[in-house]
Structure 1
Amino acid sequence: MTSASIGYVSAARTLASLSQQRATGELTLSNGDRHWKLYFFHGRLVYGTGNFHRNRRWYRAVKQHHPQFCTSHVLMDEPWEYHLLSHDVIQNQLSVNQAQSIIKASLEEVLFSLVGNPLMNSEWYSIERFAFKNNSALSLLLSSSQVEQVLQRAQALWKQWKALELDTLSPYSAPVLRQSFPTEVADCPPLPEKLNPFLTGQHTLWDISSHAKRPITAVTRFLLPWVQRGAIALEELPDLPSIVQQSCSTPPVGNSKRARPVIACIDDSPTVGQVLATILEPAGYRVVNIQDPLTGIATLVKHKPDLIFLDLIMPATSGYNLCSFLRKTPAFQNTPIIILTSQDGLIDRTRAKIAGASDFMTKPPDTQTLISLVQSYLGAMMPIDLL
């Protein structure tokens, strides 16, 4: 085991040395309570990840490179990300190129943190962790040239980040649009409406970059004038729930072909549905948005959602009436129905309960509270999705 400071030059030398030595083990990079790990097998990189926002990083990489990826295979071995990828490659549920793209995406974030922190400590542990019995799994490992390419991309991204004087900001922070500020701020570019669902403190700069398919430098630079004028605050955001602590049970009869639990959002505002989708879909659920509650009944029957979010105030009908109607319909008598509304009074909650609602939640939904509430109803049927 060795310890030393690390930066771009040192990282390049270290990675090249591990490749030349055909080393097998773990390279741990740390700074305070945060650490990152690079796993190697005979000089080839297996996977790179870290303890900070680990699940968010995984969701981002998978959603970007293979959004339909779903597996019911559960493994607790480290790194669990690689084991899940290799399992699905062996089962022909994922291509080698897709799996490698996910591995590279995670590695680039790790190396971005590494090259931007020359005082990060490194430790090497020679551990025989992997035993490859299948050529498909072995083909996922990154060669030294592939790792070097990712390192160069991370270095170039960090240079842009520093050149734009963004090095005082954290890409893991979440932008929040302050409600007290007008929608237009002097000397600031206008904010596109489609960006509003991502300015609620529920999505990090990395998340927005991945969704927009734009470099994080471009996304942060666009938001920077708003941040500098105090119109947008950057807040710390916790990681999403641990994936490997969830188990996958057999889906209910009649839904055996469906890969993920389906959640319906009945709300006349498209923004609400977008917000739910951006929170719940990375967590492994599929969201069906219904803006017209009356014509949307056919959509509900078609998709047979496992849970329904229902607004109270809508143009054509009220959420109370629709909830009562659904409870009288055999197909939805036992479906969890959660009222999602800005009206959070005792009378509203009482009326919702009388109408047959299972639960009540106020707008805008908090990320962790929303996921925990959904899992409390659907945890037993939650797949290891987007893995």
Structure 2
Amino acid sequence: MTSASIGYANAARTLASLTQQRATGELTFSSRDLQWKLYFFHGRLVYGTGSLHRVRRWYRTVRQVYPNLKVSCVPQEEPWEYHLLSYQVTQSHLSVSQAQTIIKASLQEVLFSLVSNPVLTSDWYSMQRFALKDNAALSLLLSSSQVEEVLEQSQTLWKQWKALELDALSPYRSPILKQSFLDNQPDGVPLPDKLNPFLTGQHTLWDIASHAQRPITAVTRFILPWVQQGAIALEEVPDLPPLAGPTQCPTTAVGRRKRPVIACIDDSPTVGQVLATILEPAGYRVVNIQDPLSGIATLVKHKPDLIFLDLVMPDTSGYNLCSFLRKTPAFQNTPIIILTSQDGLIDRTRARLAGASDFLTKPPEPQNMISLVQSYLGTVMPVSRL
């Protein structure tokens, strides 16, 4: 864990650095009694949350994309919003693009709130076992360019907010029509009738902006004259109650299928651990074999659906072992992917002649490896879990 007092510019650099490092864990920003959490998986953003009106924000962002979405279960894991979106995607209630739209809309509001605080304290918690357990969840991760785009939008929105001299107001407050105004309405611009339903203390400025499908700056600027006139008060309101439903979303029929087995034949235990870290969260089971000669019995026992094979090993070469496996009936049709740092044309050609299905260089990029495995084994979607 690291902790430091930083400004917004450094916060942006922190996000970029975590992406470059392919970091996995939780980044927390704090300012007085407020807190924001950003979750990362191999440098890609999982989700962003803020301590203010978390449930309200969920309903707002979902309503913009899918007004009729019904929540039949609530995950226990954090961030629950992301797991719920992942579950809805596996159930075909949401598309990947719809879920990402919701994630980005929520993130923009969280970052808008974050950038409005000039001094922030950051804490990073590295979680090596922090893993996503289904490919639907992996497909929702935001790339560095997507995060940068949302960050720029939030910063632009905040600059507009300040330019309109609204920085003394909080969009998390709720406009309420004062009784004194109703009893003795002064001369001035009358309140539009369409605004009255939102002046009951049940809707925040964010809520009204979402309903009107207008920027928060435009909605606040529209209401401001009546606030200054004393007709409307902006008051704090609590968050909505937590989502109700079963404590854990049920496993889908696809999720109950047996996990595909992937064997990693490499004399280095580190390589096997890296592959397990990448592939097991994606729904596959990894069997590590460090001694290729005595490991044949392990291969026969587990009958892997795919094999990763190192080229350079102490007692034999990957080429010889690949040729041997291709002559063995049990593995004649098993995808064999050569995994090595030797990425030359001669190496690729020799690997093909030995019967290799594909070639992947070390160190493997997580998303490339997952995509390559999926091209041979298809997509598996067990229950998502962080």
Does residue 115 of structure 1 match 2:115?
A: yes
Displacement after TM superposition at 1:72 (Å): 1.9
When residues 129 and 100 of structure 1 are mapped into structure 2, their CA distance, relative to the original with a 3 A threshold, is: farther
The correspondence of residues 1-387 of structure 1 with structure 2, limited to 5 A, is 1-128=1-128, 130-181=130-181, 189-243=189-243
Once the two structures are TM-superposed, the CA of residue 15 in structure 1 deviates from its matched residue by 0.9
Q: Are 2:89 and 2:96, in contact at CA under 8 Å, matched by a contact in 1?
A: yes
TM-fit CA distance, 1:244: 5.6
Paired positions, count: 250
Distance change in 2, residues 1:7/1:213 (3 Å): farther
Aligned to 1:338: none
Compared CA separation, residues 40 and 247, structure 1 to 2 (3 A) = closer
If the length of structure 1 is used for normalisation, what is the TM-score? 0.61
The answer as to whether partners of 2:173 and 2:204 remain within 8 angstroms in 1 is yes
What is the Cα deviation at residue 182 of structure 1? Answer: 5.2
Question: What secondary structure is seen at the aligned counterpart in 1 of 2:145?
Answer: helix
Q: For 1:343-363, what per-residue CA distance to the aligned partner results, in whole angstroms no more than 9, with x for missing partners?
A: xxxxxxxxxxxxxxxxxxxxx
Question: 1:380: which partner in 2?
Answer: none
In structure 1, C-alpha distance between the alignment counterparts of 2:193 and 2:80, rounded to whole Å: 38
Overall identity of the aligned pairs, in %: 71
Amino acid across the alignment from 1:236: E
Instruction: Specify whether residues 150 and 187 from structure 1 end up closer, same or farther in structure 2 by C-alpha distance, changes over 3 A only.
Output: farther
| Residues 212, 6 of structure 1: alpha-carbon distance in 2 compared, 3 angstrom cutoff | farther
Q: Give the whole-Å Cα distance in 1 for the aligned partners of 2:204 and 2:171.
A: 7
Distance 1:127 1:101 in 2: 26
Q: Measured at CA, do residues 184 and 107 of structure 1 come closer, stay the same or move farther in structure 2, by a change above 3 Å?
A: farther
1:130: Cα distance to partner? Answer: 4.1
Query: What residue identity is the alignment partner of 1:213?
Result: Q
How far off its partner does 1:184 sit?
10
Distance 1:129 1:243 in 2: 27
TM-score normalised to structure 2 length: 0.61
| Structure 2 unaligned regions, length at least 5 | 250-386
- CA RMSD, Structure 1 to Structure 2 (Å): 2.3
Select between 161-170 and 184-193 the one with higher mean Cα deviation.
Answer: 184-193
Gaps of 5+ in 1: 250-387
Give me the whole-angstrom Cα distance separating, in 1, the residues matched to 2:144 and 2:237.
34
Q: Matched residues in 2 for 1:234 and 1:185: separation?
A: 18
- Give the distance between the partners of 1:166 and 1:69, measured in 2 at CA: 33
**Amino acid corresponding to residue 104 of structure 2 in structure 1:** K
Q: 1:184 to 1:19 in 2, by over 3 A?
A: farther
Q: Please tell me the residue identity of whatever aligns with 1:154.
A: S
Which residue identity lines up with residue 150 of structure 1 in the other structure? V
Residues 61 and 102 in structure 1, CA contact (< 8 A), matched pair in contact too: yes
